Structure 1
Amino acid sequence: MPEKTRADMVELDRFDLAILEILQCDNKTPQRSIAEAIGLSAPAVQRRVKRMEETGTIMANVAVVNPSHVRQEISVFVEVEMHSEHKDMHDQAKKAFSEAPEVQQCYYVTGEVDFILLVVVRTMADYEAMTRRLFFANNNVKRFRSFVAMDRVKVGLNVSLDTRRNRT
């Protein structure tokens, strides 16, 4: 789903933020439990969740898989610098990176590099095969630099929410 612009975002009140806070911790929390916790009815919570899903505030309901349990134990952060900053060439790279199953996250960034990727693979041979496919085969990739993670200290996708504000 494309990123929403500031103008496209829906206004969230304190109940929406409280719902999101709970769902980020466990998206299987029953809506009646959420309703009790925040002081709304279960149907009101259901309507709010549905609206947040439809507007893209809630992007997906997924299972977070422990990579080591599925033998994908190597995490690599990769800085990618491109030769050209031409939009079409960057769009091609974004598409290729987004479609690569090994690329768990991809960021188009400012600074000395153009992209930062988080890659999760089973073996270094798998990583090498991916680099050949994504970097060496792309004439616009000037260079890439890899950082292999030694330990997964903190991993998450939670967005910090200010549930104390009294928005209505």
Structure 2
Amino acid sequence: MPINLDKTDLAILRALQDDGRMTNAELAEKVHLSPTPCLRRIKRLEQAGVIDHYTAEINRSLVGIEISAFVFVQLQRNSKENAAQFERAVEQLNEVQECFVVTGSYDYMLSVATRNLASYDRFIKEKLGDIETVAKVDTTIVLNQVKSRRQLPL
């Protein structure tokens, strides 16, 4: 259920999405608050789960991650037990960046990152392919990323 956010909360969230490393003093100035009330609002947003976590975005190519792929997975049988087993297994796979339950011909869509095609091949054959509930896998390799935006349109 959405939390009630005022214009100052939204300004704080927009600013933190743009630069999560800014100091509280810098943020307070940017959103026209003094530091103490700004920090109180941040703590309230964190405690309410609106601010889920803080992270650094890493340039994939500069750390040797050459392959990005979308992997569509169909389960053998669409049941609560199969879904739970698949989801537990996917949680253990470091190559899986995101996992979505989807509608249509497939049950899941995974965003996957690997070092190269050989490591992607091993991921499919030795990891994803070993999950008992998987019936079908279809892959789309990303050739070029045109846009990447993590910030939500608040």
Same fold (TM over 0.5): yes
What pairs with 1:43-82 in structure 2 (closer than 5 Å)?
Answer: 43-82=36-75
Unaligned runs of at least 5 residues, structure 1: 1-5, 162-168
Once residues 67 and 90 of structure 2 are traced to their aligned partners in structure 1, the CA distance between those partners, rounded to angstroms, is: 18
Structure 1 counterpart of 2:10, from 5, 17, 20: 17
Unaligned stretches of 5+ in structure 2?
Answer: none
Q: Deviations for 1:121-152, whole angstroms, at most 9, x for unmatched residues?
A: 00111111111233321232111111111112
Equivalent in the alignment of 1:27:
20
Aligned-partner Cα distance in 2 for 1:154–1:132: 30
The alignment of Structure 1 onto Structure 2 pairs a total of residues equal to: 154
Match of 2:116 in 1: 123
Does the 8 A contact of 1:97 with 1:134 survive in 2? no
Match of 2:126 among 133, 139, 161: 133
Q: Give 1:69 deviation, angstroms.
A: 0.8
State the Cα deviation string for residues 80-114 of structure 1 (Å, max 9, x = none): 11121111110111122122100111111112111
Q: 1:95, 1:158 → 2: CA distance?
A: 28
Corresponding position of 1:165: none
Structure 1 Cα separation of the partners of residues 23 and 140 of structure 2: 40
What is the one-letter code of the residue matched to 2:59?
N
What does residue 37 of structure 1 align with?
A: 30
RMSD over equivalenced CA pairs, Å: 1.3
Matches within 5 A, 1:142-153: 142-153=135-146
**Secondary structure, aligned partner of 2:113:** strand
Correspondence for 2:77 among 66, 81, 84: 84
Q: Equivalent residue for 2:98?
A: 105
Aligned-partner residue type, residue 144 of structure 1: V
- When normalised by structure 1's length, the TM-score is 0.86
Structure 1 stretches of 4+ moved >6 Å: none
TM-score when scaled to structure 2?
0.93
Partners of 1:117 and 1:77 in 2: how far apart? 6
Percent of pairs with identical residues: 33
| CA–CA distance in structure 2, aligned partners of residues 120 and 135 of structure 1 | 13
Asked if structure 1 preserves the Cα contact closer than 8 Å seen for 2:95 and 2:114, the reply is yes
Cα distance between partner residues in 1 of 2:6 and 2:81: 39
